[in-house]
Amino acid sequence: MRYPIVATGPQVTRQVLADSPDLMTVAFRFAAAGATGALHHHPHVQSTFVLSGRFRFTVGEQTFDVGPNDAFVIASNVPHGCLCLEPGTLIDGFTPRRSDFL
């Protein structure tokens, strides 16, 4: 199944790549440096893999930079967000699935 590309903010899109009730994979594409993934939290555990680009993440009280092939996990309900430093794509996994993305 091909899922639609959805704008989530200026220069940022989201596309579900695969999903089941227990797991979802989503691509977030950042088209320009300065684009942001707004600070937020959710009950889902999230894994993030940097396919391309460079990003500055805030996760809880920590701020760190990531680039291609970096990966990390965000625990349930921990506030997080990012700033795009170089255009690129993040591949996020969510468990359980983010039904609000469908």
Closest CA to 91 of 48, 39, 53, 57: 48
Q: Do the strands 36-40 and 5-9 form a parallel or antiparallel pair, or are they unpaired?
A: unpaired
Predicted local distance difference test score (pLDDT) of residue 35: 98
Which of 100, 46, 50, 54 has its CA nearest to residue 78? 46
Cα 71 from chain centre: 11
Ordered per-residue pLDDT tens for the chain, 102 residues: 789 999 999 999 999 999 999 999 999 999 999 999 999 999 999 999 999 999 999 999 999 999 999 999 999 999 999 999 999 999 999 999 999 999
Report the predicted TM-score, pTM, of the whole model to 2 decimal places. 0.96
Residue showing tokens 């469908």: 102
Q: What is the pLDDT of residue 1?
A: 76
Residue spans of the domains in the chain: they are 5-101
CATH node for 5-101:
2.60.120.10
Contact 49, 26 (CB under 8 A): no
pLDDT of residue 90: 98
What pLDDT is attached to residue 15? 98
